[in-house]
Amino acid sequence: MNIGYVQDAAVPKDLRSELAAFDNAGCERIVVDSAARAKERRMLKVVLDSLSAGDSLVVWSLSCVADSMPELVRLALDLEARKVRLISLAEGFDTNGEDERVVISTLRRLHAFQESLATQRDGSSRRRPGRPRMLKMQDLDKARLMLANGATVDEAARELNISRATLYRYLHQ
């Protein structure tokens, strides 16, 4: 079943030509959503939930179903996994067209790229600023024990493979 979805804010006020385009695309149902932003698109959620394998979601424009490229990629891959075709009339986009494998492969790569960026951002935000610590607490305890047993700072630093200045800095912290 082909289900058409359009936001009335995404097209000119006169929807006659758009509705005719949906008819030409073979849409059995056409849903017109008055929501302007993605968070308000309740009808889109209803339409997406009603789709099953073999159905097609026909949209006037890709901007009707996504506000960003990552959102569009996630939606397209979700529909592809559910074996639902995505068609955009304005952009001529079709996940089941003659270049379907290229489109889906590109979307998967874009999704992987977006995920790697998110992982990098998450990992980098948790890092402590500055250089990594040279000594672990157990190494510092070992140095203190050596010094308490009569070893010199030079001997303790050489044993831990650090400079005397580094050892002094850790001892005074």
| 3-class secondary-structure state, position 58 | strand
For residues 141 and 62, membership in a common domain is answered with no
Cα 51 to Cα 5: distance, rounded to the nearest angstrom:
12
Please indicate, yes or no, if residue 21 is contained in any of the structural domains. yes
For residues 93 and 167, membership in a common domain is answered with no
- pLDDT surpassing 70 at residue 14: no
For residues 85 and 161, membership in a common domain is answered with no
- How much is the pLDDT for 37? 58
Please state, in angstroms and as integers, the Cα–Cα distance from residue 170 to each residue in 40, 59, 67, 105, 139, following that order.
56, 64, 51, 53, 10
Q: Which of 42, 70, 99 is the last residue of a domain?
A: 99
Cα 55 to Cα 52: distance, rounded to the nearest angstrom:
6
pTM to 2 decimals?
A: 0.60
Please indicate, yes or no, if residue 164 is contained in any of the structural domains. yes
Please indicate, yes or no, if residue 112 is contained in any of the structural domains. no
Q: Which residue, among 84, 86, 88, 85, has the nearest Cα to 22 in the 3D structure? A: 88
Cα 21 to Cα 167: distance, rounded to the nearest angstrom:
76
For residues 148 and 81, membership in a common domain is answered with no
Residues facing residue 58 across a β-bridge: 4, 87
Please indicate, yes or no, if residue 124 is contained in any of the structural domains. no
| DSSP state letter for 40 | G
CB 7 within 8 A of CB 36: yes
Residue 17: exposure state from Cβ atoms within 10 A (0-12, 13-18, ≥19): exposed
Express each pLDDT in 102-146 by its tens digit. Answer: 777 787 788 788 778 777 776 655 566 777 777 888 888 898 999
For residues 20 and 94, membership in a common domain is answered with yes
Please indicate, yes or no, if residue 128 is contained in any of the structural domains. no
- How much is the pLDDT for 6? 81
The count of domains in the chain is 2
Domain range for 67 is: 2-99
Please give the mean pLDDT across all residues of the chain: 81
Cα 9 to Cα 67: distance, rounded to the nearest angstrom:
14
